Structure 1
Amino acid sequence: MQFISILSGLAAALSWGAGDFAGGLASRRAAAVRVVLVSQLVGGAALVALGLLLRESRPAATDVLWGALAGLAGGLGLLLLYLSLARGKMGVAAPLTAVASGGIPLLVGLVVEGLPGAAQMGGFALALLAIWVISRPDEAGDFRPRDAVLPLLAGVGFGTFLAIIGRLGDGAGFVWPLVAARVASVAMLAVVVFVQGAGERGRGGAGEQASGGRWQVAGGRSESASSDAGRIEAASPHATGPADAERASEDAHSVLNTDLLTTDPLTTLFPFPLAALAGLGDTAGNAFFALSAATGRLDVAAVLGALYPAATVVLARAVLGERLSPRQSVGVGLALGAVILIAL
């Protein structure tokens, strides 16, 4: 069972990384929140189809409720991430959110299931270091303590989603609670889009553009992305971004209006295939993570799944021909070492 759990955790990382890669490309051609919404709807439809295919029995009301709470936690994490990216440095927000999102289910697993062997503990530490190294841009800028608050809270939201989904009882199945989570996160995103759209119409025009859209999904794990001179670089839980972001207004109204609904004027067609691939990758990642946690330890599933930035970086190298920076190469090497230690 441990072998299945490890393979499923790695499959979750690969699926999430591939979904982020597709979402990052899609967000270059359309507004990030719209890409997220379409991907979530496609992923939700895939989950429903999977549930019918597996003929999972009707879940208990408590399992559906927990799934919905997990989706709300992930959606809240997404909103907090948007705020942190708009108000602070992306180079600070991305790695802090990535480590926190993997650290929460890791801690829950350690508390509930006890400590694993020394090799696995070493693998956990090496994996968290790899996540930080891969996610951190080459130039992160100056760090201020207050810049860490929102990214950490966003990571707590994403990590709470993973911890709840990973701790659902074996008899609950995993598809229908994930459907409930998806419905809750999509509803939250739809409200954000509606409020932003109403604000845009009320002002009679688009708001001031930020320095790039972010693509990020949680719990619905919404993904975000931005590009820097055409580069895709792994960042936060499902995020790619430039080395440094322009500082947005401290006014909350301005922050919630940072180019999330503005499309590229040169783009006339919505990139539905890429958005659909992003949603399918996110859905597959959630399903593999739930399977990994159900067949093994939650902390192992959390740490292996959190290595998704490495998959995004490798895909950017294989598909787009982007060269890995020395930092990224070190991070991928650390990730491979972590997998070996965890598998021992």
Structure 2
Amino acid sequence: MDILMGVVAALCWGATDFLVGLNARLFGVQRSVFLGQLLGLILLSTLLLVLGRQIDLLYEVKWQLLLTCIAAALLTVMGAVALSRAFAQGKTAVVAPLVTSYGMFTTLLAWMGGEHITAIQWVGLLICASGVAIVGRGSGNNDRRQYRSAGTANVFALVAAALYGTSFWVQGQYTLPAIGPVNMLWISYLVGVVFLSPIMFKLKPADSPSLKGYCALCCASLFNLAGFTAFSYGALTGAVAIVTVISTMSGGIAAILGYLFYKDRLTLMQIAGVCLVLLGAVVLHFVA
């Protein structure tokens, strides 16, 4: 069951990453993130009403822990904005695998927090860092504008990875043991809607996307929630390490979708870098 749920999570999150780029181009970066957070909040609020016992945990949260949850949620929201910006400017086949390097930042924070890091984890960190460096140098594009755009997208992807990695470390260390993953995800969606609402009022009215655009937005939220559900169920019923490792391949799935639908073409150096990033992520999560 853990293997199946890991595969389902990887497929769902890979599809989510692919659709994030499409939504950013159709709705704009900030608007697409806000609408995605709003849809997620509605869906998860409905789920929480069904799972009444989950809501009870929130009533017992102390204000110090609540502030920590809000801080972690803000990191996640800012990561989502950076990720959307990266997908809007760069190639999905490059950006998606780069974001999977968030495990590198989580591991480093754990090490700075006093946790023991094994030799294999240091190897995973080195592999990830090498892959990131190779991807950054491997565009092979002589057009300065396109080269700068690709470089900017890669930077935003790494910023998103750093924000996600930090948020996951904070959640794993403080919030998830106390309130559980469902409540933490609900708080993240709620904070995202509240945080981005003032920005939405300042945005100029955009051209209304087609029905397909709104379908893509809804599908992204549904895929994200389905991936989270599959991951949580697999972690509860099987080996957490196996589910985590398999779900990490979502970056590779998004890269394949980008190649098939966006016709993303990568140089040999970029392909090598992407493979190293994915390999490093697998090593880090497998031994975590």
Map of 1:309 onto structure 2: 251
Q: CA deviation at 1:313?
A: 0.7
1:66 aligned partner, one-letter code: T
Q: Could you tell me whether the CA contact under 8 Å between 1:134 and 1:331 is conserved in 2?
A: yes
- Per-residue CA deviation, residues 10-38 of structure 1 (Å, 9 max, x unaligned), is 76555433212112223343333332222
Map of 1:124 onto structure 2: 125
1:273 has 2:215 as partner: yes
- Per-residue CA deviation, residues 255-279 of structure 1 (Å, 9 max, x unaligned), is xxxxxx6448xx5446122111212
1:163 has 2:169 as partner: yes
Matches within 5 A, 1:97-246: 98=99, 101-112=102-113, 114-130=115-131, 133=134, 138=139, 139=141, 141=147, 156-167=162-173, 168-197=175-204
- Per-residue CA deviation, residues 208-242 of structure 1 (Å, 9 max, x unaligned), is xxxxxxxxxxxxxxxxxxxxxxxxxxxxxxxxxxx
Q: Could you tell me whether the CA contact under 8 Å between 2:34 and 2:192 is conserved in 1?
A: no
Map of 1:322 onto structure 2: 263
2:184 aligned partner, one-letter code: P
Change (3 A) 1:177 1:337: closer
Q: Could you tell me whether the CA contact under 8 Å between 1:19 and 1:281 is conserved in 2?
A: yes
Structure 2 distance, partners of 1:271, 1:162, is 30
Moved more, 22-31 or 77-86: 77-86
Q: CA deviation at 1:158?
A: 3.5
Map of 1:47 onto structure 2: 44
Q: CA deviation at 1:323?
A: 5.9
Change (3 A) 1:85 1:307: closer
Give the alignment partner of residue 21 of structure 1, picking from 12, 18, 27: 18
Structure 2 distance, partners of 1:289, 1:158, is 17
TM (norm. structure 2) is: 0.66
Q: Could you tell me whether the CA contact under 8 Å between 2:18 and 2:257 is conserved in 1?
A: yes
Change (3 A) 1:141 1:18: same
Change (3 A) 1:64 1:9: farther
1:69 aligned partner, one-letter code: A
- Per-residue CA deviation, residues 122-170 of structure 1 (Å, 9 max, x unaligned), is 2333234445555777247479xxx999887665443332222222242
The structure carrying a bigger helix percent of its residues is: 2
SS of 1:29's equivalent in the other structure is helix
- Per-residue CA deviation, residues 56-97 of structure 1 (Å, 9 max, x unaligned), is 2423244544322222223345567789999xx979xx79x8
Change (3 A) 1:275 1:40: same
Q: CA deviation at 1:174?
A: 1.2
Q: Could you tell me whether the CA contact under 8 Å between 2:101 and 2:128 is conserved in 1?
A: no
Q: Could you tell me whether the CA contact under 8 Å between 1:99 and 1:131 is conserved in 2?
A: no
SS of 2:203's equivalent in the other structure is helix
Change (3 A) 1:152 1:8: same
Change (3 A) 1:321 1:152: closer
- Per-residue CA deviation, residues 102-126 of structure 1 (Å, 9 max, x unaligned), is 4432222334473343334323332
Structure 1 distance, partners of 2:165, 2:240, is 18
Q: Could you tell me whether the CA contact under 8 Å between 1:66 and 1:177 is conserved in 2?
A: no
TM (norm. structure 1) is: 0.57
Change (3 A) 1:132 1:304: farther
SS of 2:200's equivalent in the other structure is helix
Higher relative contact order by CA 8 Å / sep ≥ 6: 1 or 2? 2
Structure 2 distance, partners of 1:61, 1:50, is 23
Change (3 A) 1:330 1:53: farther
Moved more, 45-54 or 30-39: 45-54
Q: Could you tell me whether the CA contact under 8 Å between 2:70 and 2:191 is conserved in 1?
A: yes
Structure 1 unaligned blocks of 5 or more = 198-260
Q: Could you tell me whether the CA contact under 8 Å between 1:122 and 1:338 is conserved in 2?
A: no
1:162 aligned partner, one-letter code: F
Question: RMSD in angstroms over aligned alpha carbons?
Answer: 4.8
Q: CA deviation at 1:176?
A: 1.1
Map of 1:251 onto structure 2: none
Change (3 A) 1:61 1:49: farther
1:339 aligned partner, one-letter code: V
Map of 1:339 onto structure 2: 282
Moved more, 30-39 or 129-138: 129-138
Moved more, 269-278 or 284-293: 284-293
